[in-house]
Amino acid sequence: MRALPDGFNGAIMAVESITDAIAFLHGPGGCRVRHMVHSTAVFPREDPEDKAGYDIPYFYGYPRVPATYIDEYDYINGAAYKVSEGLPIVMSKNPALVVVINSPGAGLIGDNHEKVLRDLGLGSKVVCMDETLVSMPFTVCYGHTLRAVLEKIGPEKVCPEKDTVNIIGLTIMDKDWRAVADELRSLVESMGLKVKSIPGAGASVSELRDSVNAEYSIVVCPEACAGLSELYESYGVKVVRSEAGAPVGFDATERWITSIAEATGCDPAAALESVRRAKDRVYEKFVGTKYNSLRIKGMSFSVAGTASVIRPLTEWLYNYLAMAPVAVSADPGADKGEIEALKAFLDSAGYSESFGRGPEEGSDAVFCEGITAYTMALNGGCRIGVPIGYSSMGLDDVIPRPVYGVQGAMYILDEILHGVRGS
Amino acid sequence: MYQVAFYGKGGIGKSTMAANISVALAGKGIRVMQIGCDPKHDSTRLLLGGRVQTTVLDYVREVQIGKRKIEDVMMKGTSGILCIEAGGPEPGIGCAGRGILTAFDTLKKLGTDDLGVDMKIYDVLGDVVCGGFAVPLRGEYADGIVLVTSGEFMSLYAANNIMKGLSNFDTGRPRLVGIILNSRGVDGEEETVRRFAEAAGTKIIAVIPRHRLFFEAESSGHTVREMFPDTKLSEMIDAVAQHIIDVRDGKIRASFPRPLDDDQMSDLAAGREIRRGTCIGAPRFGCTACNPRISIKESKIMSSCAAYGAVAAYLKMNDVAVVLHGPLSCAYLMDTARAKAVLELYAGGIYSTVPNHNLRCTMMDDGSSIFGGVGNLERTLRDTVKEGYMKIAVVTTCMPGIIGDDSLTVINRVIGDNPGVGIDYIPADGDVNGEFTDGFIMAVEKITEMMDLSLERERGTVNIIGSSFFDIHSVRHLKEMGKLFSAFGLKENCRFLDETSSEAVAGFCRGHIDMMVNDSAATIEMASVIESKTGRRVLSVPLPVGLHDYVEWARQMGEIMGMEKEAEREIERAESDHREFIETHSHRFRGRKIIVMNRASQNIDWLIDMLIGLGADICRVGCVPSPRKSGSRSASRHLGITTLDYDTDELRRDLDYMDPDLLIGEFTGPVGNRCRIARVGKVGIGVLPTEEYVEYLENIMRLPREEGWKEGVKI
């Protein structure tokens, strides 16, 4: 079984992506610890020297994802008293926003958070998420939570600022998301647009409030921002989405750039030039070591992940490297349009039967979340295991190795080239 | 908009009353929505002419967030009344309370407040038994509460409980509209209810007699108010509707409830004058008799859960599949941490078994928390059997534990259908049964049942017992352990529990000697489980760390193996080597001021021995209490110089006052860069790793106090 994060993980990580917000978990310590470790790993926000200030109840020495540590007594008797006691302590750290999130077990108790907020008079700075999002798709719930937060904090619509954009649909669980944010920002700015915010990937509460004043919202991964897109549209923000899916591989990255140019009327030349330069570099490498390209051509590959990511990746590996897509599997919560486009591509390429097959059956190269990819590579299920999914705890690199954008294409090619050595 | 909740004991006639009053309200020009909150979803039947509609909870099971529409769960009934049914699970399955929570949250998100309704009527199931059923009582929902009761004691008891619930959700404004007495025809009924109402600070707003017209109307799927509008009964119903309107408009005041205490209820039942009651105030559900908790300080702070411990134990067996009965988030969090560790060990050549992914999850979601998760469990178990696993462990998270899933019946059914397949059941229930170690031990108790007690011991074979094998998870540590063993002709039989299999566990009793990998509380507890299961004795001396332990261990091995002379020779060699080591390295430590800060559960006697031997000035040995486990062992031979319950505040004071050269501890951060810091990590087995640790300390004292990377951009 592939171990994928779910909607509960998504809700917490979405809140943790907001620079000055705190996810206050109404749940057991066991639920807290991994989220605390993971959110710190993918998005460190606090200075470790400040840890001493968190040696207080609910934080217990660690700044991230404070929790109510509910136990058997609380499941039976209710634990609203802990939310009531804990919120002022959490608020003492002066966050711009606290979002109370129920753990799977706490969701069954029925504690009345709204009453606690009323009693404490904390309405404007605290949002409660009463939904139970367990076992639902991570991406959908990440975007859903951001939307719910944005709705509740009250966006401030003043007037649209011309040539400003938000980049949406990027999560802090995406591999090397900071590098992606930097690259996409740079590509967009090279077109003469100004990036107002990147909701879900390091935006602050005030940036979120102000994000409705952007002229455009540019979609990276549609699954992670479906609800958010609707919300922006309701505020008159034009949502720009590439027909090629997420910017994965050179082709889709170019299409992503041209989609923005077509929607905004901006000049894409500089952005496209950066893709061209990267393609030139790859050409040199492949020409220089032609044996490698011969080794790659004809290799089979399996891919599993978010539909808008695996669709362009599949098309790119097929067209750019002449690799055979023998297993293509979309994670739950897939964008319908992406699935249709993916199926149409596989049909046209003569690989219809590959759709819906999981990577477990084995192939030359497997592209999916790190743990499955590495495990398969170690146990002989594939020759090359390339992580393209959500960050796996601790499996990180210093050199940026994202999946999206030009750097992402180079990373994927690097992994394939390294993997075919000696074959 | 005004919202009224009808509450009362099951079967007392709430739905009948609610539907009739909805029709009466609509007749007065009020735009009404009626929401049935009973899993049997028949509240609005009389408004829909007997038609059945999709319940909210069935709908959310089928339709994903973002694609839901209010029209799909709402029908227009008599007089344009908007009808919704929350729905819920079958009796005895799942959690109907959670269902109410989900239904209300969904309806709010679907915009029921934006439909131009003047009045919402909630028809709520039976008694307020949990937080879920109390949702309609919350301030954001019910502006008024109408109790429906008969004169029977159990019905009045339920009404009293509802008032307690109402007190719990006190909004500061009176909300109890009154009592509708739905007569059952028992003697003195009206008088009993009147006495109850007076004592509880409210009044009867209608006395509805038993009448054949109710039967006639309901038989044809309609209300009396609709079918027989010109009757006395309809007049009474209209009067209740008007009363509710008057309360809404402030012409009549609702009241604050004064629920009766047990003595008062006894007086009521006995027909006595009801004595003055004690103030029940705002009791908590389920625990009115004891002092409720008011602070997190009364909780045990657990940073892990028993389910994770049980999963971790079983995943150390390569041929066992673990089915985690719970949500995907739990499986993800448990698996990523473990899989990463296994991958690293395998890649480093420490693990010889090919890593596999043998954790499965029943993917419980909101729907299964409401309707029960046994279906998910059965599907997952059967799929796992199909994969070819003959040994499976089912571990429960908090969700099935709280909703009371009958997992055992499912397990027995699957076992019955699949001869030869063994399924262990570990009802850890998330953190309900404690933290990691508690779950680990629960699993160990089950796993020991795999041991074949009839096997004969094979001389010179060793079982190593431990909850964590990190101490020997490196090639060098493995080599060192191999050297220790080979000196006495020992070889490994079974690692309990580490990279093992059900076959190896079955052969545990073939082992000649049972030895602990360390003396942590968890390992000692494991050893005790094994002793009680097998009748064997586990050696009290664990695998040695440092010279002192090694001497003791070697003597014991010599004795067991009849190699006393060889043991003494080994000891002499080790002591001589160690003396030489100390002489070579003490110049870097002599007189250096050192503070050691350690967790209570970790034995660092070897470190203190070493620092004393090297001539260091040990200013403080502080022992940090373990918040997770009471009763963990503290560093034992050096208790005399150990400060127990040492915390970071004390440490900061010590740092200011003592100005040490080196701080050895397990933390980063709170002490800043006031002195050099070394970590006290997992060391390994034998004497050599402790000497290597000293070399690490020497390096720390020679290296820059602050690393250059800290000059990066401050967060």
Tell me the CATH number of domain A161-266, given options 3.30.1360.170, 3.30.750.24, 3.40.50.11890, 3.40.50.1980. 3.40.50.1980
Cβ separation of A82 and B335 shorter than 8 Å?
A: no
B119: closest CA of chain A, how far (Å) = 22
Mean pLDDT computed over A100-124:
89
Q: Is B127 a catalytic residue?
A: yes
Q: Tens digits of per-residue pLDDT, B169-204? A: 777 789 999 999 999 888 889 999 999 999 999 999
Tell me which of B259 and B278 has the higher pLDDT.
Answer: B259
B516 & B638 share domain:
no
Chain A residues touching B64 at Cβ < 8 A: 136, 140, 333
Chain B residues touching A45 at Cβ < 8 A: 715
In chain A, what are the domain boundaries? 7-136, 161-266, 273-419
Tell me which of A255 and B518 has the higher pLDDT.
Answer: A255
B67 & B91 share domain:
yes
B446 & B472 share domain:
no
Residue B158 lies in a domain: yes
B residues 299..358 contacting A (CB < 8 A): 299-305, 307-308, 326-333, 335-337, 339-340, 343, 346-347, 354-357
Q: Is B417 a catalytic residue?
A: no
Q: Return mean pLDDT, chain B.
A: 89
B122 & B97 share domain:
yes
Mean pLDDT computed over B677-685:
84
Q: Is B14 a catalytic residue?
A: yes
Q: Tens digits of per-residue pLDDT, A176-195? A: 999 999 999 999 999 999 99
Residue B242 lies in a domain: yes
Least confident of A199-213, B31-45, B470-484, B611-625: B470-484
Q: Tell me which residue of B608, B603, B633 sits closest to B618, measured CA to CA.
A: B608
Model pTM above 0.90: no
Residue B581 lies in a domain: no
Residue B564 lies in a domain: no
- Please tell me the predicted confidence (pLDDT) of residue B109: 85
Residue B278 lies in a domain: no
Cβ separation of A47 and B98 shorter than 8 Å?
A: no
Enumerate the β-bridge partners of residue B595.
Answer: B620, B663
B314 & B235 share domain:
no
B191 & B335 share domain:
no
Domain boundary pick from B429, B450, B471: B450
Residue B64 at interface with chain A, using a CB cutoff of 8 Å = yes
Cβ separation of B343 and A114 shorter than 8 Å?
A: no
B598 & B526 share domain:
no
Determine the residue of chain B that is closest to A104 in CA distance: B399
Does this chain's domain A7-136 share its CATH topology with A161-266? Answer: yes
B367 & B439 share domain:
yes
Domain boundary pick from B450, B476, B491: B450
Tell me which of B292 and A75 has the higher pLDDT.
Answer: A75
Domain boundaries, position B516:
461-543
For residue B128, what pLDDT band results from cuts at 50, 70 and 90?
low
Residue B551 lies in a domain: no
Cβ separation of A47 and B714 shorter than 8 Å?
A: yes
Question: How many structural domains does chain B have?
Answer: 4
CATH architecture of A7-136: 3-Layer(aba) Sandwich (3.40)
- Per-position b or e across A174-201, b if 16+ CB within 10 A of its CB: bbbbbbbbebbbebbebbebebbbbbbb
Percentage of the residues of chain B whose pLDDT score is greater than 90? 62
The CATH number covering residue B229 comes to: 3.40.50.300
Positions of E strands within B640-693: 642-644, 662-665, 676-679
Q: Tell me the pairing of strands B75-76 and B82-85.
A: antiparallel
Residue of B38, B58, B127, B654 with catalytic role: B127
- Please tell me the predicted confidence (pLDDT) of residue A394: 55
Least confident of A3-12, B450-459, B475-484: B475-484
SS3 label, residue B520: coil
B702 & B654 share domain:
yes
Domain boundary pick from B386, B415, B450: B450
Residue B282 lies in a domain: no
Mean pLDDT computed over B345-359:
77
Percentage of the residues of chain A whose pLDDT score is greater than 90? 78
Cβ separation of B294 and A81 shorter than 8 Å?
A: yes
Residue B426 lies in a domain: yes
Residue B131 has pLDDT above 90, yes or no: no
- Please tell me the predicted confidence (pLDDT) of residue B630: 44
B100 & B240 share domain:
yes
SS3 label, residue B359: strand
Determine the residue of chain B that is closest to A395 in CA distance: B340
CATH architecture of A273-419: 3-Layer(aba) Sandwich (3.40)
Residue B354 has pLDDT above 80, yes or no: no
B34 & B161 share domain:
yes
- Please tell me the predicted confidence (pLDDT) of residue B107: 92
Q: Is B565 a catalytic residue?
A: no
The CATH number covering residue B358 comes to: 3.40.50.1980
B311: closest CA of chain A, how far (Å) = 13
- Please tell me the predicted confidence (pLDDT) of residue B285: 38
Chain B residues touching A68 at Cβ < 8 A: 296
- Please tell me the predicted confidence (pLDDT) of residue B241: 97
Residue B276 has pLDDT above 70, yes or no: yes
Determine the residue of chain B that is closest to A113 in CA distance: B138
For residue B708, what pLDDT band results from cuts at 50, 70 and 90?
confident
Residue A359 has pLDDT above 90, yes or no: yes
With residue A261 as reference, give the H or E element that holds it: helix A249-264
Residue A55 corresponds to which tokens in the numbers above?
Answer: 């040696």
Residue B289 has pLDDT above 50, yes or no: no
B383 & B424 share domain:
yes
Cβ separation of B343 and A379 shorter than 8 Å?
A: no
Q: Return mean pLDDT, chain A.
A: 93
B193/B650 Cα distance (integer angstroms): 64
Burial of B292 (0-12, 13-18, 19+ CB in 10 A): middle
The CA-based diameter of chain A, rounded to the nearest angstrom, is 71
Tell me which of A347 and B51 has the higher pLDDT.
Answer: A347
